[in-house]
Structure 1
């Protein structure tokens, strides 16, 4: 073999070797790009949970979180793959998520459906039904984040957090500013005014409770200066959001405005109130009843935390509390 030929063969071998190294480097780079970054967050149960920095497949277990995630960029990124079966959704969210698979009602989510959807993040609220999902889903390497939504501040902070997850911080912040502006209008209406003595009734077809300021609606009422008679009960536990309804106590306190939050079939709850409370002479003698100031609050805004519609909820309360002044 001539020296020239040996040089040519050697050159070809070198080129093949270099090409192999280059291809190997490119393949490794591709693998690196496919590895999602993660972050560690502390949820409302105190657990430290490792979640994707920007999840690609998210399942929301309740209506409030679905609403917040949708308006924090979930709509734009199309990252929502599972939603709860719920009537407590705005028409816009219902329409925007009409093709998203339902995973069941808040109190009975389907583990099988969630696993089938292969999410990289599941988000729920601090209730036993969602906490019970954690062991099964974590075994499948699916992180579960539990986030409470008890107050106005919870809504604002969660909306901002979801904007980080979707990578659409500007969209989330714009929504926050919109909510804050409407919220401040409601708060301003309560300045220098004396709120009427108020009662919040949480009603189902089976039972009625009085809501304290530790409840969601009670917290909103308190922000408006509402004088909630349930807070005056001596036996109320420090963190109790709901206490048994006592007709004698209500009659003694004589509320001037009554707000009714229905849970379940709205018409059925209204009928139950008429049958169980309306026939009681003590009820008929209450100032709020005599003056036609018993307000049944909109189901979608008060039966659950209304998410991005929280400012709308507090403005409705302000309308009724101060007679739209």
Structure 2
């Protein structure tokens, strides 16, 4: 489905939603869920939903962390969710049903990748919306934000936020030049180099910024390990590598490998590195603001050859 058709479909779905104080019929991946009123006690089980509520000024009663500690929240969300300010119901990949139940939520927002198998159990606790965030595209994030803004009764603010986002997107797109060529992106971790396809979150964002991502889905996966030989076969003109500070030595070793040095991107000095958590996990409009500002400041898509 094209982006325009997706927006039309979303608009039709949103038209079925009532205003504050009225019943809401909310479309999501598991069909439709009826909400008797605007929810006030919300538990969110993925970073993109935490991002959405933070930007809309709505405080959830429960959130998830990236690990087992409350302070393991993405850096750009820490100011909204400082340790101890909101109950953490566990790791986003394995939330605690008991902790969620104890919060007595009137809405749970869950992710398809990690929580589809828990959907029936979550739905017995509270009405549950299931979205595709973790494996979703850039367009998915914007659609979910629009829908969530209606669900929490902040539609007007949601429209303003998206207008501001599009202004920033246009600024970032203006820095994109044909000289950057085919642009690929991947996460470097101790377990390998994970490329992101043109239908992944960051991969599809490159398309919205005017660049061709040569990486397609493989076996239905939008992110998968690719060897140095496989990367050389793709031979992108610009390469974005995402890794965290603790993997700096790993990046230097990988970057100096003969196959990586043979890439068009490497020979033209167009290998750029950014923070893995900020880019690969920074779903939502707040996360996108950080990514787009990185794009603008670094001129990664300009083709100027100022990479590492």
Sort the TM-score into its range (normalised by shorter chain): 0.7 to 0.9
- Tell me the matched-pair count: 273
> Residues 227, 294 of structure 1: CA spacing in aligned structure 2 closer, same or farther, 3 A cutoff?
same
**TM-superposition CA deviations, 1:15-70 (whole Å, max 9, x none):** xxxxxxxxxxxxxxxxxxxxx753222212x4222234300100011111011012
2:301 corresponding residue in structure 1: 321
Contact 1:72 1:160 in 2 (8 A): no
SS in 2 for 1:180: helix
Is 1:68 aligned with 2:55?
A: no
1:120 is displaced (CA, Å) by 0.6
Shift of 1:208: 1.8
Aligned 8 A contact 2:110 2:129 in 1: yes
Q: Which of residues 265, 280, 297 in structure 2 aligns to 1:288?
A: 265
Q: 1:245 aligns with which of 217, 220, 226?
A: 226
Q: How does 1:1-325 map to 2 (within 5 A)?
A: 37-44=22-29, 46-74=30-58, 78=59, 80-86=60-66, 87-90=73-76, 91-95=78-82, 98-127=84-113, 129-140=114-125, 142-149=126-133, 150-190=136-176, 193-231=178-216, 236-237=217-218, 239-262=220-243, 266-275=244-253, 277-278=254-255, 280-309=257-286, 310-317=288-295, 319-322=299-302
1:272 is paired with a residue whose SS is helix
Q: Take 1:249 and 1:114, find their aligned partners in 2: how far apart are those partners?
A: 43
CA contact (8 A) 1:205 1:268 kept: no
Alpha-carbon offset, residue 252 of structure 1:
4.2
Is the radius of gyration larger for structure 1 or structure 2? Answer: 1
Q: Provide the rounded CA distance (Å) in 1 between the counterparts of 2:209 and 2:40.
A: 40
- Point out the structure with the larger helix share: 1
Q: Secondary structure at the match of 1:132?
A: helix
User: Tell me, what secondary structure is at the counterpart of 1:297?
Assistant: strand
Distance 1:230 1:101 in 2: 39
Instruction: Give a deviation string over 1:49-92, Cα, whole Å, max 9, x none.
Output: 22343001000111110110122241xxx4x1001114325243
RMSD: 2.7
CA distance in 1, matches of 2:112, 2:156: 28
| Structure 1 gap ranges (5+) | 1-35
| Secondary structure in structure 1 of the residue aligned to 2:24 | strand
Task: Report the Cα distance in structure 2 between the residues aligned to 1:261 and 1:279, rounded to whole angstroms.
Answer: 16
Distance 1:153 1:229 in 2: 19
Conserved? CA contact 2:175–2:301, under 8 Å: no
SS of 1:227 mapped into structure 2: coil
Which segment drifts farther, 56-65 or 252-261? 252-261
Q: TM-score, length-normalised on structure 1?
A: 0.74
2:180 counterpart SS class: coil
Instruction: Give TM-score, length-normalised by structure 2.
Output: 0.77
Determine helix, strand or coil for the equivalent of 1:84.
strand
Task: Determine the C-alpha separation between the residues in 2 that align with 1:94 and 1:289.
Answer: 39
* Structure 2: distance between partners of 1:256 and 1:169: 41
